[in-house]
Amino acid sequence: MAADNSFPYTPTPGKLEEFLEKLQGIGVPARIDQQYLGSVGFASSNSRPFIPLMKKIGLLDGSSKPTELYTKGLRGGESGRALLAAGIRAGYDNVFQTYSDAYDRSDADLETFFRSHSVLDDKKVGLAVKTFKTVCKFGNFHPVAGAAGNEDEGGKGDTDEQAELAKGRRKREQGNNTSGSVVINVNIALSIDATSDATVYDAFFAAMAKHLKGLTDGGA
78 is a domain residue? yes
Averaged pLDDT, 64-85 = 95
116 is a domain residue? yes
Virtual CA dihedral for 15, 87, 29, 38, nearest 10 degrees?
20
Query: Which pLDDT does position 208 carry in this prediction?
Result: 60
Interatomic CA distance for residues 155 and 142, integer angstroms: 11
- Cβ-contact 57, 135 below 8 angstroms: yes
Whether 180 shows a pLDDT value over 70: the answer reads no
Q: How many separate domains does the chain show?
A: 1
Averaged pLDDT, 6-31 = 95
17 is a domain residue? yes
Give the structural domain span for 59.
2-136
- E strand or H helix at 41: none
Interatomic CA distance for residues 132 and 141, integer angstroms: 14
- Cβ-contact 45, 51 below 8 angstroms: no
214 is a domain residue? no
148 is a domain residue? no
Averaged pLDDT, 66-70 = 97
174 is a domain residue? no
30 is a domain residue? yes
Query: Which pLDDT does position 154 carry in this prediction?
Result: 43
20 is a domain residue? yes
